[in-house]
Structure 1
Amino acid sequence: MLRVMDAALVDAELGRLAASAPFRRAHRHLRFLRHLLALARAGDSAGLREMALGVAVFHRRADQFDPRSDSIVRVEARRLRQKLADYYAGEGREAAIEFALPIGSYQIEVRPRLRPVPEAVHLGRAALALGTLPASQRAVSLAEQALGEAPDLGLAWLLKSAALVSAVGLTTLPAPGAMPAAREAARRALADPRLPDVERAEAHSLLALVAFSHDRTWPQALQEVRRAQLLAPSAPLHAREGWMLMYARRFDAARRAYAAARARDPLSLTYRVHESLIALYERNYAQAAAGFEDVLSVAPGHVVAQSLSAALHLYEGRHAAGERAYRQLQASLPSLSIGLCGLAQALALQGDAAAAEATFGELTQRFEAGAAPPYQLAMVRARLQDAPGALHWLDRAAALHDFNLVCAAVDPAFDSLRPLPAFGERLVHWGLAADRDGTPIIPA
């Protein structure tokens, strides 16, 4: 059968080919080509027999046509093949797809046309792999450079989308317009029919991330992830599905998704941490602690496991132990704001409001410098029993599209706010909880 491809794209290419010099007056060859395309679309292999083609295309009589003595189909196939070669060597050299008739076959093929990839794309991908903010920002500029050379190149648009998402994640505060620009770049990448399926899957995955963390339209996000899985199943795609389901309180489905991810990548410590995070959000703290300890036993410096293990001390009432853990985290990773955030919470829970407020002041300075997310400031205000302050900073998190806001519906740090109607109304408004009519954010 014909390779799955946008029918409108195939029809548009056929129209351009029909208007070209090699085919403008070649009505017989156009009829032949259109018939072969129709057979391919229908998956009709019987219609490709020389006898059937002679009757259907070249008007030979079925009761008289003998392909052994009448070579009309073979001759015209050879001429069609040559005309296609002439077209793609000239007027069609910039075509996005090409029609090909392999020698010895009447099975027409529709192929994406390969084209040189600008060196800027390769350099941008290498930069992105470094995982640092300067490298991600450099990848954005390299993507723009590549698009200057090849404005419709899907790989360049994909690089731009991935680099923008990476830069936003690494700066903790989204740059205005960056995530919508990443969404548009991913869509432009998918518009390139030559984009391989693995890269198409990545584009759908990026669209899922934007829909989930920025737009908070979770059914759309889940749909994009599953489109990606159909194209190129992978552990990260299953994990991304699990991540979204977890924050939608679909805990059993999230476990199944992470189990699928771990089946493909059993060595991933990140997936183990996330599975333990599910237990944490279910308030099964003993199971969560065991999972974090397993990870820390082989990777003591695993930052996410460290911070979540420290948070468990606070959730289980071991506030002094939590303070020690967060002070250690702050000393070892002073550039991260999570240490200050946890320390302020621990001090507040121990009743040292003055010290907690002083630490909150340091955290506020980091926010103003673009180095701390507003969600963390909301956590501290909640621990200080300042509900209006916590809601204020959560509103800031929503306005700034803070990635962390998706945690609010399940995060134990906000359990003191849950009885408040204002908090519940915000969760619904932000797309983090069921509507008033009971419609869940991600239907089962």
Structure 2
Amino acid sequence: AETRWCSCDLHFSGCGDPRDLFVGFKRARVCCPIPRQALGRGLRRIGFEFIHRSRMSSLEEPLGLGDLPKLSINRLGRFCQSACRSTADDRSTGNYTPSNSGNNQTLFHSTSHSWHLQGQYTDSSCNGVDMEFRTLPQKVSWDLPRFVKVVEVGPRDGLQNEKNIVPTSVKIELIHKLVASGLSVVEATSFVSPRWVPQLADAKDVLEGIQHAPNVRFPVLTPNLRGFEAAVAAGAKEVAVFASASESFSKSNINCTIEESLARYRDVTSAAKKHGIRIRGYVSCVVGCPVEGAVHPSKVAYVAKELYDMGCVEISLGDTIGVGTPGRVVPMLEAVMAVVPADKLAVHFHDTYGQALANILVSLQMGIGVVDSSVSGLGGCPYAKGATGNVATEDVVYMLHGLGIETNVDLGKLMDAGDYICKHLDRPSGSKTATALCRLTA
């Protein structure tokens, strides 16, 4: 059978970026010979939101509204012939060329780009399906990574503030559920003095109770050499150290100056290298301090460079009190990236002022590929007033999937983990995504 364009006049405009691809169609009912799975895969890879009315999307796909056809139809109603006319004929622009191979026709972008496959068309028939396509704005630079590693900090950073002690068994089960969702890095606990953080006094038992899965890392926070030795004795394979870009916060949080903390961590990193243990570094107060106010980017860059030079393989930049905005995050990242490679950096934003997702997005656009978050938005720093509000992992994953970025995380299973811990804590989820989707599926 001959491969042909469908009767609904589906067109592809010749734009410079595949993710700016504009798909126009004259009819809401599409009846072209396009396999549903191939079309869905192709469009998701180039940043499209694809709503398939005939099939309920899994929760790991953003906006899984297959059970709400009315909403989809209403949106499709806005796509009229005049509004959706393609901007140019592809054959005249030359930006896209068809490549025929047997019964398949594949469109490739002719310019150099990391996103190649645009869509695949075969001769297999396709029943009428109501679909919605939506592009990313063309005037925005969407230079985003293909994959983002999500670092889950809920079991440590999320629970350390809880006044009522969470049973060890609950912590272990939470970690197992988080791993089951596809998260490859889960910060399990902290080997700090129980006097300072009593919630994490069971660090040894938690670490011993984790079923170590292949390709999953469980870093633990170690504030000094004693904590490091205790972590190693408990079986830790990765540790994290915690410095601050604010002198005042360093003194109030870990009772020492910045330079004193860095000296401590040199001892820890030296010992870790001897044991072959991976080290992750944190820098707190990268935008603002609850005591000093605004923190200059040069201070953040200095601490990050020191941690990098002493052997930290990844450095997480934390907006401890959540005061950052994209306008303040950009100069901070520019300063740090001048001295530390971008692929060695992560971002850790609190959502105190509702800016976390915006800050994460601009960080991704600047080349960051690792994001810290906490399931259900649990936690914050116990020594930073008003610092509650870790960005919810569910919200981060939903946004990333909506941008066509892979995470290997199943949003439905992640929501199950959040529901589990929230029920134990007897509180609603701090994730807007989880709250909204639970309402839709109730």
If asked which structure has higher relative contact order (CA below 8 Å, sep 6+), I would say 2
Structure ranking higher in strand proportion? 2
TM over 0.5: no
Rg bigger for which structure? Answer: 1
Provide the TM-score with structure 2 as the length reference.
0.28
Provide the TM-score with structure 1 as the length reference.
0.28
Structure ranking higher in helix proportion? 1
